[in-house]
A and B are shown apart, each in its own frame.
Chain A
Amino acid sequence: MAQRTTEIVVGFFMIAGLIALLFLALQVSGLSPKAATATYTLYANFNDTGGLTPRGKVSMAGVTVGTIESISLDKQTFQARVAMSIHADVDNIPSDSAAVIRTSGLLGEQYIDISIGGDMESLNEGDTFYSTQSAMNLERLISNFASGR
Chain B
Amino acid sequence: MIDRIASLGRSSLEVVGSLGRATQFLAGVLAGVPKPATGFPLLVKQVYSVGVLSLAIVVVSGLFIGMVLGLQGYTILSDYGSEAAIGQMIALTLVRELGPVVTALLFAGRAGSALTAEIGLMKATEQLSSMEMMGVDPLRRVIAPRLWAGFIAMPVLAMIFSVVGIWGGMLVGVEWLGVFEGSFWGNMQSSVDFVDDVLNGFIKSVVFGFVCAWIAVYQGYDCVPTSAGISSATTKTVVYSSLAVLGLDFVLTAVMFGDF
A-side interface residues toward B, CB under 8 Å?
1, 3, 6-7, 9-10, 13-14, 16-17, 20-21, 23-25, 27-31, 105
Contact = CB atoms under 8 A, between A and B. Distances in A.
Interface string B45-79: 10110011001000000000000000000000000
Interface of B: 41, 44-45, 47-48, 51-52, 55, 82, 91, 95, 153, 155-157, 159-160, 162-163, 166, 185, 188-190, 192-194, 197-198, 202
A13 B52 contact: yes
A9 B193 CA distance: 32
Given A9-B48, A10-B44, A13-B55, A24 B160 contact: no
Given A17-B155, A29-B194, A30-B190, A24 B163 contact: yes
Contact of B48 (A10, A17, A29, A31): A10
A112 B82 CA distance: 23
Contact of B156 (A9, A13, A23): A13
Contacts of B95: 24, 28
B163 A9 contact: no
Residue among A9, A17, A25, A28 with the highest chain B CB neighbour number at 10 A: A28
B163 A6 contact: no
B195 to A, nearest CB: 9
A29 B193 contact: yes
A25 B162 contact: no
B85 to A, nearest CB: 10
A64 to B, nearest CB: 9
A28 B41 contact: no
Given A3-B41, A23-B163, A28-B91, A17 B190 contact: no
Nearest to B197: A29
Contacts of B156: 13-14, 16-17, 20
B198 A28 contact: yes
Nearest to B55: A13
A10 B156 CA distance: 11
Contacts of B189: 27-30
A10 B163 contact: no
Given A24-B95, A28-B91, A29-B189, 19 more contacts: A1-B48, A7-B41, A9-B48, A13-B48, A13-B52, A17-B155, A17-B159, A17-B160, A20-B160, A20-B163, A24-B159, A24-B162, A24-B163, A25-B194, A27-B189, A29-B193, A30-B189, A30-B192, A105-B82
A28 to B, nearest CB: 5
Contact of A24 (B48, B52, B153, B198): B198
Contacts of A105: 82
Contacts of A24: 95, 159, 162-163, 194, 198
Nearest to A24: B198
B163 A29 contact: no
Among all A-B residue pairs, the 8 with the closest Cβ atoms: A30-B189, A17-B156, A20-B159, A31-B194, A29-B194, A29-B192, A20-B163, A6-B48
Residue among A1, A3, A20, A24 with the highest chain B CB neighbour number at 10 A: A24
A16 B58 CA distance: 13
Given A16-B156, A20-B162, A6 B188 contact: no
Contacts of B162: 20, 24
A49 B112 CA distance: 51
B77 to A, nearest CB: 12
